[in-house]
Amino acid sequence: MTIETINGITTEMFKVVLYVSGPPLLVGLVVGLIIGLFQAVTQIQEFTLTFVPKMLAVFACMFLLMPWMSEKLTTFTTNLIMQIPSYVK
């Protein structure tokens, strides 16, 4: 296994991790900003108000995107397993 092979595998792994984790993180960020703006405008300083909507939004995003996420992860894993013979040479 060469350094170029390891670099290629880790680059692809980081791309898959960013693709899969990006949408739920962005949804959490947007919902957090909206709730923070709402709290600033209404001067409501309830800590649980930020957690519950963000948690629900992230879970809804993950539920809706789960087929796409699992397809990305399965494709990456399948390609990695199929290329094992070329890695050990």
Residue 63 lies in a domain: yes
Residue 87 lies in a domain: no
pLDDT of residue 59: 96
The average confidence (pLDDT) of the chain is 91
- Whose tokens are 């390891």? That residue is 6
Q: Provide the domain count of the chain.
A: 1
Residue 84 lies in a domain: no
Instruction: Tell me which residues of the chain have a pLDDT lower than 50.
Output: none
Residue 49 lies in a domain: yes
Residue 64 lies in a domain: yes
Instruction: Report CA dihedral (69, 72, 76, 79) to the nearest 10 degrees.
Output: 140
pLDDT of residue 18: 95
Q: Do 83 and 1 contact (CB within 8 A), yes or no?
A: no
Q: Do 62 and 69 contact (CB within 8 A), yes or no?
A: yes
Residue 13 lies in a domain: no
pLDDT of residue 19: 94
Residue 74 lies in a domain: yes
This prediction has a pTM of 0.79
